[in-house]
Amino acid sequence: MIEAELKARVRNADYVMGQLDQKTDGRVEVYHDTYYDDPSGRLDAQDQELRVRTIQGADSTRSILTYKDARVDAHSGSKPEHETRVDNPEAVHALLRGLGYVPAITFQKRCRNYDFNAGGRRLLATLVQVPELEGTFLEVETMVSEKQELPAALDDIRSLMGELGISQEDFTNELYTDAVAARRISHADSSPSA
């Protein structure tokens, strides 16, 4: 399966949230993400991702192991994705470390998720705030089974995002992992030395 996804910076988060609230009830969740790589950084160099995500919601906590292969669309950053729910995230962390992977970066995402159907597709729209980054982001995604389905899916996502007030210059394909890492380096460089 391929995750067809677009991400944008949001200029008016209240407006976007109001529009999404009219479609369905939002689900407030906090994601605790740990991305793994081998010590040489091979996965990152090959544009692959290996992540353990623990999601804390109002009534439950669940964890997911995700592997994303390299991008199949450079503009959107859409990637083949394989994921499964895990009952024991501590065991998965230990398993990955035992296989020689190391935590490359860990951070938190504060999310408001909206699941709904539009244009004959099941969509997930997520308003995201990362405490270490400025502003609010909007991610909209759907799953497709073949690469040739990707352009039509991305067109449907762009259409929805346009309805939500997102303009072309708001789109970004920068990864949160890269943005958080750059922010941490910037803060480390600017902090006074001991």
Q: Over 90: is that where the pLDDT of 158 sits?
A: yes
Q: What is the mean pLDDT of the chain?
A: 95
CA distance to 23, 37, 67, 93, per residue, from 47 (Å) = 34, 11, 11, 21
pLDDT band at 192 (very low <50, low <70, confident <90, very high): low
| Nearest CA-CA partner of 119 in 171, 144, 148, 155 | 155
pLDDT tier at 110, thresholds 50, 70, 90: very high
Work out the pLDDT band at 191, boundaries 50, 70, 90.
low
Structure confidence by residue, pLDDT tens digits, 10-26: 999 999 999 999 999 99
For residue 194, being part of any structural domain is answered with: no
What is the model's pLDDT at position 193?
57
Domain limits for position 108? 2-188
**Tens-digit pLDDT profile for residues 40-85:** 999 999 999 999 999 999 999 999 999 999 999 988 999 999 999 9
How far is residue 12's CA from residue 55's CA, in Å, rounded to a whole number?
Answer: 26
- pTM for the whole thing? 0.92
Residue 119, pLDDT score? 84
Domain total in the chain = 1
- 193 falls within a domain: no
CATH of the domain at 95: 2.40.320.10
Residue of 45, 181, 53, 42 lying closest to 101 (CA atoms): 42
The alpha-helical segments, DSSP class H, found in the chain are 13-23, 42-45, 89-98, 150-163, 176-190
Query: Average pLDDT of 98-127?
Result: 96
In a domain, 15, yes or no: yes
